[in-house]
A and B are shown apart, each in its own frame.
Chain A
Amino acid sequence: MRDYNFAYLDEQTKRMIRRAVLKAVAVPGYQVPFGSREMPLSYGWGTGGVQVTASLIGPEDVLKVIDQGADDTTNAVSIRKFFARTTGVATTTRTDEATLIQTRHRIPETPLRAGQIVVFQVPIPEPLRWLEPREAETRRMHALQEYGVMYVRLYEDITRHGRVAQTYEYPVIVDGRYLMRPSPIPKFDNPKLDRSAALMLFGAGREKRIYAVPPWTSVKSLDFDDHPFEVEHWDRPCAFCGARGVFLDELIVDDKGGRLFVCSDTDFCSRRRAESEAG
Chain B
Amino acid sequence: MYVAVKGGERAIDSAHRLLAQERRGNPSVPELSLAQIEQQLALAVDRVMTEGSLYDRALAALAVKQSRGDLIEAIFLLRAYRTTLPRLGVSLPLDTDAMVVGRRISAIFKDLPGGQILGPTFDYTHRLLDFDLAEARREPEIAPEESDGPDEGGSLPRVMDLLDREGLIESEPPEREDPPVGDLTREPLTIPAGRDVRLQNLARGDEGFLLAMGYATQRGYGRNHPFAGEIRQGEVAVTVAPEELGFPIEIGTITVTECQMVNQFKGSATAPAQFTRGYGLVFGGAERKAMAMALVDRALRGRELGEEPRSPTQDEEFVLSHSDNVESSGFVQHLKLPHYVDFQSELVLVRDLRAAHGGGSA
The answer on a CB contact under 8 Å between B337 and A45 is yes
B283 interfacial contact with A, CB 8 Å: no
Given A38-B83, A167-B346, also A251-B317 (CB < 8 A): no
Whether A167 contacts B349 by the Cβ 8 Å rule is yes
- Contact of A135 with B191 in the complex, beta carbons under 8 Å: yes
Find out whether the CB atom of A232 lies under 8 angstroms from the CB atom of B338: no
| B326 with A43: CB separation less than 8 A | yes
**Chain B residues whose C-beta falls within 8 Å of the C-beta of A135 in the assembled complex:** 191, 317, 321
The 10 closest A-B pairs by CB, nearest first: A44-B334, A43-B330, A167-B345, A208-B188, A42-B330, A38-B79, A77-B8, A74-B8, A38-B83, A186-B345
Q: Is A250 an interface position by the 8 A CB rule?
A: yes
- In this assembly, does B80 line the interface, its C-beta being within 8 Å of a C-beta of chain A? yes
Q: Give the distance in Å from the alpha carbon of A40 to the alpha carbon of B79 in the complex.
A: 9
Contacts of B341 in A (CB 8 A): 68-69, 105-106, 168, 185-186, 247, 249, 264
B21 touches A (CB below 8 Å): no
A8 and B84 form a contact (CB under 8 A):
yes
Tell me the residues in window 168-210 of chain B with beta carbons closer than 8 Å to chain A beta carbons. Answer: 185-192
Picked from B79, B187, B327, B356, the residue with its CB within 8 Å of the CB of A35 is: B187
A143 at the interface (CB under 8 A from B): no
Q: In whole Å, how far is B331's beta carbon from the nearest beta carbon of chain A?
A: 5
B190: min CB distance to chain A, Å? 7
Within 8 A of B (CB), among A122-166: 123, 134-136, 161-163, 165
| A134 touching B337, Cβ below 8 Å | no
Chain A positions within 8 Å of B340 at CB level: 68, 249-250, 264
Could you list 14 examples of A-B contacts with CB < 8 Å? Answer: A5-B84, A33-B188, A35-B186, A38-B76, A38-B83, A39-B80, A43-B334, A73-B338, A81-B12, A136-B191, A161-B353, A184-B342, A208-B189, A232-B348
Indicate whether A229 reaches chain B with its CB closer than 8 angstroms.
Answer: no
CB atoms of A4 and B84 under 8 A apart: yes
Report A194 CB to chain B, min CB distance, Å.
19
Interface flag for B26 (CB, 8 Å): no
**Shortest Cβ distance from A47 into B: residue:** B330
Known: A35-B186, A208-B188. A232 touches B345 (CB 8 A): yes
- Cα of A8 to Cα of B80 in the assembled complex, Å: 10
In the complex, A123 Cα to B328 Cα: how many Å?
12
B280 → chain A closest CB, angstroms: 23
Residues of B contacting A10 in the complex (Cβ-Cβ under 8 angstroms): 84, 86
Residues of chain B lying within 8 A (CB to CB) of residue A37: 83, 185
| Least CB distance, B343 to chain A, in whole angstroms | 9
Query: Which residues of the partner chain A approach B186 to less than 8 Å between Cβ atoms?
Result: 35
Contact with A along B311-335 (1 / 0, CB 8 A): 0000001000100001101111111
Q: Is A6 an interface residue when CB atoms closer than 8 A count as contact?
A: no
A74–B12 CB distance below 8 A: yes
Within 8 A of B (CB), among A8-29: 8-10
Report the minimal beta-carbon distance from A104 to chain B, rounded to whole angstroms.
8
Expressed in whole angstroms, the minimum distance between the Cβ of B182 and any Cβ of chain A is 11
With the chains together, A149 CA to B8 CA distance in Å?
42
Contacting residues, chain A, for B6 (C-beta < 8 A): 72
Interface residue ranges, B against A (CB under 8 Å): 2, 4-9, 11-12, 76, 79-80, 82-84, 86, 185-192, 317, 321, 326-327, 329-335, 337-342, 344-349, 352-353, 356
B83, A187: Cβ atoms closer than 8 Å: no
**Within 8 Å CB of B356, what residues of A?**
162
Chain A residues whose C-beta falls within 8 Å of the C-beta of B326 in the assembled complex: 38, 43
Q: How long is the Cα–Cα vector from A103 to B337 in the complex, in angstroms?
A: 13
Residues of B within 8 A of A73 (CB): 5, 8, 338
Cα A9 to Cα B83 with chains together (Å): 9
Contacts of B9 in A (CB 8 A): 72, 77, 81
Pair A44/B188 contact, Cβ less than 8 Å: no
B11 and A74 contact, CB distance less than 8 A: yes
Q: Is A94 an interface residue (CB 8 A)?
A: no
Is the Cβ of B84 less than 8 Å from the Cβ of A45?
no
User: Is residue A110 contacting chain B, with contact meaning CB distance below 8 A?
Assistant: no
B16 to chain A, nearest CB (A): 10
Query: Which chain A residue lies CB-closest to B345?
Result: A167
Within 8 A of B (CB), among A193-239: 206, 208-209, 232, 234
Tell me the bound Cα distance from A220 to B142 in angstroms.
74
A249 in contact with B344 given A38-B76, A43-B330, A206-B330 (CB within 8 Å): yes
Asked whether A188 and B2 contact (CB < 8 A) given A42-B329, A74-B12, A81-B9, the answer is: no
> Which residues of B lie under 8 Å from residue A44 when comparing CB positions?
330-335, 337
CB distance from B3 to the nearest CB of A (A): 10
Q: How far is A167 from B190 in the complex, measured between Cα atoms in Å?
A: 31
How far is A37 from B337 in the complex, measured between Cα atoms in Å? 21
Q: How far, in whole Å, are A161 and B188 apart by their CA atoms in the complex?
A: 40
- Closest Cβ of chain B to A20, distance in Å, is 10
Determine the chain B residues whose CB is within 8 A of the CB of A68 once the complex forms. 338-341
Smallest CB gap from B349: residue in A: A167
Alpha-carbon distance between A206 and B353 when the two chains are bound, in angstroms: 35
B193 to chain A, nearest CB (A): 11
> Closest approach, in angstroms, between the C-beta of B346 and any C-beta of chain A?
5
The minimal Cβ–Cβ distance linking A10 to chain B, given in whole angstroms, is 6
Task: Provide the bound-state CA to CA distance between A78 and B187, in Å.
Answer: 28
Besides A39-B80, A250-B344, 19 other CB < 8 A contacts?
A: A37-B83, A40-B80, A43-B329, A68-B341, A69-B341, A72-B5, A74-B11, A76-B8, A81-B12, A105-B339, A105-B341, A105-B342, A106-B341, A135-B317, A168-B341, A186-B344, A209-B188, A253-B2, A262-B4
Chain A positions within 8 Å of B188 at CB level? 33-36, 208-209
Distance of A101 Cα from B356 Cα, bound (Å): 38
Residues of A within 8 A of B8 (CB): 72-74, 76-78
A248 at the interface (CB under 8 A from B): yes
CB distance from B303 to the nearest CB of A (A): 12
Nearest B residue (CB) for A137: B317
